Amino acid sequence: MNEGQDSPVPGRATVAEIARAAGVSTATVDRTLNNRPGVKARTRNQVLDAAVRLGYLPEHRVAAPGPTAGAATIDFVLPGGTNTFLKHLSEHLIALGETRRGEARVRVHHIDGFDPEALARTLLDLRRGANAIGVLPLEHPVVREAIREVVAGGVPVLTIVSDISNVPRLGYVGIDNRAAGRLAGHLLGRFMQARGREVALFAGSLSYRGHEEREMGFRHILAEEYPHLKVVELREVRDDAERAYGEARALLAAYPGLAGLYNIGAGNRGIARALEEAGRAGDVTFICHELTEYTRRLLVAGTVDAVIDQNPRVEARDAIDWLIHAAQHRPAPALPPIRIQAVFKENIPQV
């Protein structure tokens, strides 16, 4: 490829377009795409991200250098299960890790997301071979103690998606969950108008600080701006679609006047199924989180009124970058906050 040359494939992005999207020169794009030396790792990652995003390179074909002898081992511990957002986050961690193979070996481990003992054991086991660890933690004493022990042993720990209190972690990569809960409450209040007063909440588990913060933000804005609305119940569904379906069916039967639903975590497919079977889809205002292939369809169908989204690719990129800096004993990178976006049927972004 010659420097600045347009793509030979009709309809595919050009080198110049990739350069503009990545904020670099066409020469840097040329060196990166042809795997030539002289490009900093973060700049290289920006170029490859832009090339994938613009469709120049399929994500699974992004070229990456082989791991070097001094590459750090970066481990991530995430909940397993059917949570689609976490599945996408895991995929992005693995894919973006491939683009940083010259600096780090990225591994992702999945565990039962609601078992603090299993999480603590995994963290303690990983400290023997990891240079840095990213974790989506449960707010639990055994998890806090495990993180303290890992950090005391010289392995830095970063929290992602949901934070944890009173531990010496590097930092947190994720959205402001209290603000997300307030946004959900604002949207639900505005959408409901005079439909009714009764509102119900679903959460994966309030053992996740992020879910607890969303609930707090939601309740606070209802008290401040929509005091006529009443939260009748909060049910924990462990981010499981089938369990969410059963709980939603029971709620709709118990509260025939139910007018609003806010799902703090996952399981949206189950709640939507219960609404549709009861003939209440579009009648009950439904606000949920994370834009996935499922919530896209639910927005278009009118079953979901709004989705509060965060970007798992950006979270994966920032978490990997932060942990590589920590493993290499470099200062933390300057990273902007993760953006919260409200998505409606009219503004669903392209894939």
Quote the pLDDT of residue 185: 98
**Local confidence band at 69 (pLDDT 50, 70, 90 cut-offs):** low
pLDDT surpassing 60 at residue 273: yes
Residue 60, pLDDT score: 43
Contact call for residues 130 and 155 (beta carbons, < 8 A): yes
Q: Which of the four CATH numbers 1.10.10.10, 1.10.260.40, 1.20.810.10, 3.40.190.10 does domain 15-61 have?
A: 1.10.260.40
The model's pLDDT over 175-234, given as tens digits with 9 standing for 90+, comes to 999 999 999 999 999 999 878 999 999 999 999 999 999 999 999 999 999 999 999 999
Binned at pLDDT 50, 70 and 90, residue 81 comes out as confident
Identify which of 285, 299, 258 has the alpha carbon closest to the alpha carbon of residue 185: 285
Q: Confidence class of residue 163 from pLDDT cuts 50, 70 and 90?
A: very high
So what's the pLDDT on residue 351?
Answer: 66
**Does the fold of domain 177-309 match that of domain 72-174+312-337?**
yes
Element (H, E) at 220: helix 209-225
Per-domain boundaries in the chain? 15-61, 72-174+312-337, 177-309
The residue to which tokens 């895991």 are assigned:
90
What is the per-residue pLDDT for 246? 98
For the domain covering 177-309, report its CATH number. Answer: 3.40.50.2300
**How would residue 35 be classed by pLDDT, with cut points 50, 70 and 90?**
low
Strands 341-343 and 306-309: antiparallel
The domain made up of 72-174+312-337 is a member of CATH 3.40.50.2300: yes
Structure tokens that stand for 301 in this block: 């169908």
Q: Which pLDDT belongs to residue 19? A: 83
